[in-house]
Amino acid sequence: MSKKALFIGGIKSGKSLNAEIYTLKNSSKKPIYLATTEFIDDEMQKRVDEHKLLRSDRFKTIEEPLKLYNTIAECGSSVLIECVSMWINNMLYHGFGFDEIKRELESVLALDKSIVFVLNDVGCGIIPDNALAREFIDISGKLSQLIASSCDEVYHTIAGISTRIK
């Protein structure tokens, strides 16, 4: 039986680690870690390397910054998407609009696959002073609602503690 879950929280809240633990606990086979980070500077590379060390060989890692549906459709085990926020960023950077981003995500949500989504909660801050940042926040907020409504379980993470809210 496929099951979908969302881990949402602020940056460095512990949502990724808790999503990894959840995915491992609920997978009968070695799960897929779908890494979406595309834009890497030295600091981001260090973060990516730290994440790789922490998960060691417990996951099979696939790096895909844009085509979530095609990648997940081919997976034979549960998938952890780390993270939807970076994927939205990538899609906007490459010129995709909200409707295209939403369609891709709806296709992913329709798959009969066990998927764990990780998403930054960006709706608790101030309204940014630039249009692109506002667009990102608007899209992220709308997509977080779409994901949450389609998931069997939703967890909000603060200070390393994930609380089930759905």
Active site residues: 51
With beta carbons less than 8 A apart as the criterion, state whether 160 and 14 touch: yes
- In this structure, the number of other CB atoms found within 10 A of the CB of residue 83 comes to 22
Provide the sign of the torsion angle of the four alpha carbons 52, 66, 9, 130, taken in this order: positive
Sign, CA torsion 64/66/72/78? positive
The strand pair at 153-158 and 4-9 is best described as parallel
DSSP 8-state code for residue 159: T
β-sheet with 32-35: strand ranges across: 60-63, 32-35, 79-82, 115-120, 4-9, 153-158, 161-164
How is residue 92 written in tokens? Answer: 């906007």
Tokens matching residue 111: 């798959």
